Amino acid sequence: MSAAIRIQQVSKCFGSTQALDAIDLEVRPGEFFGLLGPNGAGKTTLISALAGLVRADFGKLSVMGHDVQADYREARRHLGVVPQELVFDPFFTVRESLKIQSGYFGIRDNDSWIDEILENLGLTSKANANMRMLSGGMKRRVLVAQALVHRPPVIVLDEPTAGVDVELRQTLWHFIRRLNEAGHTIVLTTHYLEEAENLCTRIAMLKAGRVVALDTTANLLRRFSVHTLRLRTRQAIPPELTHGAAENGGWWSLPFDRFDEVEPLLAKIRAAGCVIDDLEIGKPDLEEVFVRVMQGQAN
């Protein structure tokens, strides 16, 4: 089966700034894919190139096998993009906006699907409200709805939860997960790494327009992050036990790979005469992976 998204050697310059530098990336159909990176890494430029808002200087991009330039109509029909900026058309109501957006994609009678989207995003009561009257969170929901009116098989969400409340996040992720389970390919960019860790099966990390890490989430966690035993002790831990550990505010973080290493480690600490006041076990997290990759410790 062909890739849902195929990006081949894509480069883009804005003046002297190299926004994308020979990017190669493939997203498989049905994947929940994360695109991570610091501000200015090129995530939004890459999404814009995919959506036809930016024209790549070199390379090829396709959506469900359709080239985004040569076969732009089919490529765009297969792609739904939730833009990062909170934009809206102040002249129209929520329902009018969604009907107009459907029409742009050549869909005439879309009321039942529009009703379903409104229901799933908690927008039913706001259907006839003017866009100007909505709160920021509600406007964000409408942006998501607008990206879905044409039932695109590939959905790209560019920081959809930036500055929104917990309720919307939960509603949104519940709905997006359902779409993913129904076979839609999802690409997500976010600065909330916990979200990416929970949702994405595969992750690409971008830095200065280049892909610096690309793997399954599980592999990235395994490669770049470890479990830690965090301890607060009444007495100083002997130096021979703190190899590779870090101390911060009276807490020691001791790295370990396997859980069967924990008990012998604790036994040694107790044997050294240390009394443990507090203890917790830290799981590997994407934030640590992200920091390491961005610091150039990727291998």
Partner 1 sequence: MGHGFSTLLYKEVLRFWKVGSQTVAAPVLTALLYLLIFSHVLEGHVKVHGVIYTAFLIPGLVMMSVLQNAFANSSSSLIQSKVTGNIVFVLLPPISYLEFFAAYVLASVVRGFVVGAGVLLATFWFAPLTFAEPWWILIFALMGGAILGSLGVIAGIWADKFDQLAAFQNFLIMPLTFLSGVFYSINSLPPFWQEVSHWNPVFYMIDGFRHGFFGVSDASPWLSLSVVGSCLAVLTLFTLNLLKRGYKLRA
Binding mask 89-108 toward partner 1 (x if CB under 8 A, else -) reads xxxx---xx--xx-xxxxxx
> What is the bridge-based pairing of β-strands 185-189 and 32-36?
parallel
Q: Which of residues 48-67 bind partner 1 (CB under 8 A)?
A: 48, 51-55
Rounded Cα distance between 122 and 223, Å, is 39
Among the listed residues 40, 59, 72, 253, the single contact to partner 1 using CB under 8 A = 72
Measured CA distances, 216 to 16, 25, 33, 182, 203 (Å): 33, 13, 9, 21, 6
Q: Pick the closer one to partner 1 by CB: 21 or 197.
A: 21
- Neighbouring residues of 125: CB distance < 8 A, sequence distance ≥ 6: none
The residue within the footprint of partner 1, chosen from 17, 70, 87, 111 (CB under 8 A), is 87
Which residues 249-268 are close enough to bind partner 1 by CB under 8 A? none
User: From the CB of 90, what's the least distance to partner 1, in Å?
Assistant: 8
- Based on the shown chain and the rule CB under 8 A, indicate whether residue 146 belongs to the binding site for partner 1: yes
CB of 162 to partner 1, least distance (A): 15
Q: Does 73 interact with partner 1 (rule: CB under 8 A)? A: yes
d(CA 286, CA 92): 41
Cβ contact 224:197 at 8 Å: no
Q: Which is nearer to partner 1, 98 or 274 (CB)?
A: 98
For 173, the enclosing helix (H) or strand (E) is: helix 166-181
132 binds partner 1 (CB under 8 A): no
Straight-line distance from the first to the last Cα atom of the chain, in angstroms, rounded to the nearest whole number: 30
Q: Is 248 exposed, middle or buried (0-12, 13-18, 19+ CB in 10 A)?
A: exposed
Selected binder of partner 1 within 35, 36, 68, 77 (CB under 8 A)? 77
Cβ-proximal residues to 173 (8 Å cutoff; 6+ apart), any chain: 195, 199
Q: How many residues bind partner 1 (CB under 8 A)?
A: 34
- Contact region for partner 1 (CB under 8 A) — 28-36, 77-85, 224-232, 251-259? 77-85
**Which residues in this chain contact partner 1 in the complex, by CB under 8 A?**
14, 48, 51-55, 72-74, 76-77, 79, 81, 83, 85, 87-92, 96-97, 100-101, 103-108, 146, 150
